[in-house]
Structure 1
Amino acid sequence: MSRITQGFVDLVRVETRLYNAVSARLREEQGLGLGQFEFLEIIDCVPGCRVLDIVGELAITVGAVSKAVDRLVAAGWCVRGAHPQDRRSSVLSLTPEGRERLAASRPVVEDALLSLTAGIAPGDLSRVAATLATLRANLEAGSRGSPG
């Protein structure tokens, strides 16, 4: 296996294992999965957030995002409101319960990540983070206009 192929395989395996471990801890401590946490974070951080904003951020389909948002609405963590300029679109916002759930979940995610990466030197983590940020930016720049 070539070095780049092995690097890709390692990246995918690390992502899967990290995601699953953080999600399991979050579910155990806060009653929501990492996917739900990510949606709540995006809704909280993007002013006037719409389904398409989440699609663009996560690079998944509109249908998948709509279904996930429906589940957040059903849980009472988010609401859909009328978009002021586009009647075909809605604006997503967190409910007070959604804000509380997100605030309580942030330290759990942070602590889980710190625990899972405890044996790695901070400089190494910084280099990996910078490399991944560059790779992500390059990939996102190359895929503009074709989300999900």
Structure 2
Amino acid sequence: MRCETRLYNALNDRMRRSHGVAASQYEFLRYLRDHPDTRVGDLAAFFAIGVGATSKGMDRLEGRGLVRRVPDPADRRSSLLELTDTGTQLVHEADETFGAIGALIQTALDPARLHDAAQTLRQLLTALEHDRIGTPAG
């Protein structure tokens, strides 16, 4: 846990300093870039966080002009989230900062161990998601 926390804090500090967003906000924005037609519930499910917290996070990003809500043509009670041009540009610029954390990890582990660690973490995440372990109740 300490290792993950230190890496996340390093990324968070770099994202705030270089792009004015928290690491979690960058993750939301990157997901929206890569998954068009996303709803708040989709984000909440993917990131295993509550719908209320996700909606508040989108409100903040919308207030900064990085995200907009558009009517869902398939369900008039729902909205889809999409990046604005400003949000798209920010994600593009922040991708390089995110990559710097990968370089930090690569300097600490030799390539074979890095590959094994990544594979192990993918397997663990798949098992946790399959069994819905760590999914918030609300």
In the superposition, the TM-score normalised over structure 2's length comes to 0.93
Percentage of matched positions with identical amino acids: 36
Q: Which contiguous aligned blocks of 4+ residues in structure 1 show a shift greater than 3 angstroms?
A: none
- Partner residue in 1 for 2:54: 65
Aligned AA for 2:99?
A: E
The structure 1 residue matched to 2:74, chosen from 74, 77, 85, is 85
> How many residues align structurally?
136
Contact persistence 1:25–1:112 (CA under 8 A):
no
CA distance in 2, matches of 1:53, 1:105: 23
The structure 2 residue matched to 1:41, chosen from 27, 30, 39, is 30
Distance apart, 1:117 and its partner CA: 4.0
CA distance in 1, matches of 2:36, 2:65: 20
CA distance in 1, matches of 2:63, 2:15: 19
Contact persistence 1:43–1:93 (CA under 8 A):
yes
User: Would you say 1:118 and 2:115 are equivalent positions?
Assistant: no
- Partner residue in 2 for 1:5: none
Distance apart, 1:119 and its partner CA: 2.3
CA distance in 2, matches of 1:122, 1:95: 37
Distance apart, 1:143 and its partner CA: 1.0
CA distance in 2, matches of 1:111, 1:101: 16
- Partner residue in 1 for 2:9: 20
Contact persistence 1:22–1:113 (CA under 8 A):
no
Distance apart, 1:115 and its partner CA: 2.2
Distance apart, 1:59 and its partner CA: 0.2
Contact persistence 1:49–1:93 (CA under 8 A):
yes
Q: Give the strand-richer structure, 1 or 2.
A: 2
CA distance in 2, matches of 1:119, 1:101: 28
RMSD in angstroms over aligned alpha carbons? 1.4
Larger Rg: 1
CA distance in 2, matches of 1:136, 1:112: 20
Q: Secondary structure of the equivalent of 1:87?
A: strand
In the superposition, the TM-score normalised over structure 1's length comes to 0.87
- Partner residue in 1 for 2:124: 135
CA distance in 2, matches of 1:62, 1:72: 15
Distance apart, 1:116 and its partner CA: 4.4
Give unmatched runs, 5+ long, in structure 2. none
